[in-house]
Amino acid sequence: MVKIEDVLKNFKSNLNRERKNRILEAYEFAKKAHEGQKRKSGEDYIQHSLETALIIAKVGMRSKTIAAGLLHDVPEDTDKTLEEISKKFGEEIAFMVDGVTKLGKIKLRGSQEEYFLENTRKMFLAMAADIRVVIIKLADRLHNMRTLDHVPEEKQQRIARETMEIFVPIADRLGIGEIKGELEDLAFKFMDHENYNKVKHLEDKLYQEIEKYIQRTKEEIEKDLRREGIKIIEIKGRAKRLHSLYLKLQQHDMNIDRIYDLAAVRIIVPEIADCYETLGIVHKKYHPLVGRIKDYISLPKPNGYQSIHTTVFGPEGKILEIQIRTKKMDNEAEFGIASHWIYSEQEKISWKRFFFKGKAKFPEKELVWIKQLREWQNEIGRDDDEFLSGLKIDFLKNRIFAFTPRGDIINLPEGATPVDFAYMIHSDIGSRTMGAKADRKIVPLSYQIQNAQVIEILTSKETKKPSQDWLTFVRTSNAKAHIRKELKKYEEMAKKS
């Protein structure tokens, strides 16, 4: 049973008197409002509010978001109004509570797909308006998934599917690895109970062996790093998550003996330079697998994730993944966008400067895609098919990096073409595109760009009419919108002439 003291204990910033009182007052208000209400599990309803607030605190959010988490179900499920919350706790907290309430008001109209689409749209509108609303909703969903055993099976399936298709990708896009991983495993459990149990049984059988192996590896690495004078903040290890393991097993006929990277060891060091020095020491100790070194420090993932990954032949020649990163990178990998609050504490930056009521400024490059999301939604409007297909490609699909000849990084979805690349640089470049080179070789405009290629766009001196054929192969909504806009303009010009 969670207590308010647990929430306060997990607060990651400076818990001064004002912040502590805000959290305590929100708890007392929610507790009184929910008095007598029970969850389907039989627990007092306030437990859900506390669990949600605890998750929010653990990912590094501050007192106003935690207070909104405690209050998030009050207007919907009690006789207390949003106006009362606004009067007592201020407009900003009321704005977040209202955002979460609106996300929860989606009713099943017509088909499952219609429901799914409307829920997805509302999630992304909320994300573009104030990220904190979505973080509260993720925490709310995580606790609901932990207690999903208590709802009817039909509802379990719908909630699990929605979690896997909407909430898991959003947690991933926000870089909140811990929430993403647990949501994925819980959704897997209810969507495919049979395979979940099989994988869990396999991992449980090997658990003690994996634990011993991780411990031995940690001790060997720590000994070598200390001998070389590397300061270690922490070395930790973990077995593969169940859903991740299942996906690997599917590639190997469900034979766990063919899965070599069941365990991973993470080394946390103080500085970036220490990461690269540690990599050299690890490779001196254990032979690396050729082609399995990934440097996400110099080239971060689109969600801001940074780390060095290397796969090595560890103790006894067993294959093992080793991750090397700084403490800041580790916080960002676990808490994602929420980790910016931990570090902005020293800079005295107000989060509402970034997001509150959509008056967003984007000082962090990791948040640029949220600005792009808002602009993209404005362009798409209410076209449902375009919205859903664009969403899946532009924001939830795997991402790649490509470079301009000057070395600028362009972030694209998998399958993107030189035309997508051109429009991503600037609409004028897209409109003047005549040809393209990938790594100095001429490629067709329909060519699918590979990760880390250098792309050069060959342009005409003047804007030209884009080809109608481009719409058959471009991947991004940005490119499609500009091409259609240009084609329409030329059509109107032709009618007038």
Q: Could you say which of 6, 25, 77, 178 is catalytic? A: 77
Distances (CA, A) of 401 to 367, 428, 450, 453, 494: 17, 21, 8, 8, 39
Residue 399: enclosing H or E segment and its boundaries?
Answer: strand 399-403
Phi, psi for 291 (deg, rounded to 5): 80, 5
**Distance of alpha carbon 61 from alpha carbon 341, whole angstroms:** 6
Catalytic residue at 366? no
Contact (Cβ atoms closer than 8 angstroms) between residue 249 and residue 271: no
**Distance of alpha carbon 340 from alpha carbon 345, whole angstroms:** 9
Tell me the three state secondary structure of residue 327.
Answer: helix
Catalytic residue at 77? yes
Could you tell me what percentage of the chain is helix, strand and coil, using 3-state DSSP and rounding each to the nearest 5?
Answer: 60, 15, 30
End-to-end CA distance of the chain: 75
Closest alpha carbon to 449 in 390, 400, 406, 407: 400
Q: Could you say which of 28, 35, 76, 271 is catalytic? A: 76
> At residue 194, what is the residue type?
E
**Token code pair at residue 415:** 């399958």
Q: Which residues are catalytic?
A: 76-77
